Amino acid sequence: MIATMENNIVILLCLIGFGLLAVGFSNRDENWGLCTMWVGALTMFGPVAWRLLTLFD
């Protein structure tokens, strides 16, 4: 895959994860708010972990 396209996908996933974290934090008193925060955190950490794995491979 083209490096620029990979960077755009990583940035997009991080932005989506940050949005999910923000929505989940705003509704943290509800059960779905906590689940949304978990999904947002995993969405943000996934591309970072993938980048580290490909960097050290």
Q: Which pLDDT score, from 0 to 100, does residue 7 have?
A: 86
Tokens at residue 56, please? Answer: 């050290």
Three-state SS across the chain?
A: CCHHHHHHHHHHHHHHHHHHHHHHHHCCCCHHHHHHHHHHHHHHHHHHHHHHHHHCC
The predicted-structure confidence for 2-54, as pLDDT tens digits, reads as follows 778 888 988 999 999 999 999 999 999 999 999 999 999 999 999 889 888 98
Q: Which pLDDT score, from 0 to 100, does residue 21 have?
A: 95
The answer to whether the predicted template modeling score (pTM) of the entire model surpasses 0.85 is no
Q: Which pLDDT score, from 0 to 100, does residue 51 have?
A: 85
Distance CA 46, CA 14 (A): 9
Q: Where are the domains of the chain?
A: 3-55
Q: Which pLDDT score, from 0 to 100, does residue 36 have?
A: 96
Q: Is the pLDDT of residue 1 over 80?
A: no
